[in-house]
């Protein structure tokens, strides 16, 4: 909450020049941001964010348009609300489970749910990779999070509970789609263009929860 005087160009004395410079830096930082989606298995210490580490990044957004953050939040939380409703009131799944888009109110950002059958097929192809890495993989960190992972019965048919946790981190469950034309000064890296400057990137549940 800044007062109107923060934009004042006529400061009363020269001693306030440093304060003016500080204000400009703060406002610049507030108006430009970068979001990063880390690669699965990057090994970042999620328990201590005070210890930054250099980790691989799969996808990033650089922008000065605050509307993008709002649209992204709307799309993600529409998924959260839908999953919560299914948990409390039940849902319709099964073999012919439909693929659904969860979008922001203006449809500039959407989260496309990949069908459970496709997720399971992709996970089955990755089973050998899990067996090779499970000795060093940290399991359990997806438990008790603000957005629990979907309960896919088909994953349980393939492997152990540890494998299910691993799949939710390494196997994409969603496709994040962003209409770059709708936002100013926005740069997307690590995704591919669909059509008309609309971009898409596959993303796992772990990546959406932790970034």
Return the axis-axis angle of helices 161-170 and 116-125, rounded to nearest 10°.
Answer: 100
Angle at 98 between CA 97 and CA 101, to 5 degrees: 140
For the entire predicted model, the pTM comes to 0.72
Residue matched to tokens 């993600």: 76
pLDDT at 95: 38
Average model confidence (pLDDT) across the chain = 76
- In the three-class reduction of DSSP (H, G, I as helix; E, B as strand; rest coil), residue 58 is classed as strand
**Which ranges of the chain have pLDDT less than 50?**
1-2, 6-7, 11, 14-15, 45-47, 49, 92-98, 135-136, 140
User: Is there a contact between 194 and 200 (Cβ–Cβ < 8 Å)?
Assistant: yes
Pick the closest to residue 161 from 138, 139, 186, 129 (CA basis): 139
User: Is there a contact between 159 and 134 (Cβ–Cβ < 8 Å)?
Assistant: no
CA distances from 209 to 63, 108, 141, 174 (A): 21, 20, 11, 12
Residue matched to tokens 């596959």: 202
Residues pairing with 62 in the sheet: 34, 187
pLDDT at 23: 58
- In the three-class reduction of DSSP (H, G, I as helix; E, B as strand; rest coil), residue 54 is classed as coil
pLDDT at 94: 41
């Amino acid at each position: 909450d800044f007062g109107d005087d923060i934009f004042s160009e006529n400061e009363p004395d020269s001693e306030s020049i440093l304060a003016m410079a500080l204000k400009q830096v703060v406002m610049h930082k507030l108006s430009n941001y970068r979001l990063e989606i880390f690669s699965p298995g990057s090994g970042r210490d999620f328990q201590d964010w005070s210890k930054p580490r250099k980790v691989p990044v799969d996808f990033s957004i650089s922008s000065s348009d605050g509307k993008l953050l709002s649209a992204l939040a709307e799309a993600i939380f529409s998924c959260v609300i839908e999953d919560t409703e299914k948990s409390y009131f039940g849902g319709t799944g099964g073999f012919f489970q439909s693929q659904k888009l969860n979008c922001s109110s203006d449809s500039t950002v959407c989260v496309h749910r990949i069908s459970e059958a496709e997720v399971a097929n992709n996970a089955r192809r990755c089973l050998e990779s899990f067996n090779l890495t499970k000795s060093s993989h940290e399991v359990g960190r997806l438990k008790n999070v603000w957005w629990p992972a979907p309960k896919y019965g088909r994953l349980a048919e393939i492997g152990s509970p540890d494998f299910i946790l691993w799949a939710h981190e390494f196997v994409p469950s969603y496709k994040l789609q962003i209409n770059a034309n709708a936002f100013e000064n926005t740069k997307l890296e690590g995704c591919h263009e669909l059509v008309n400057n609309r971009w898409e990137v596959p993303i796992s549940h772990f990546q959406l929860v932790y970034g």
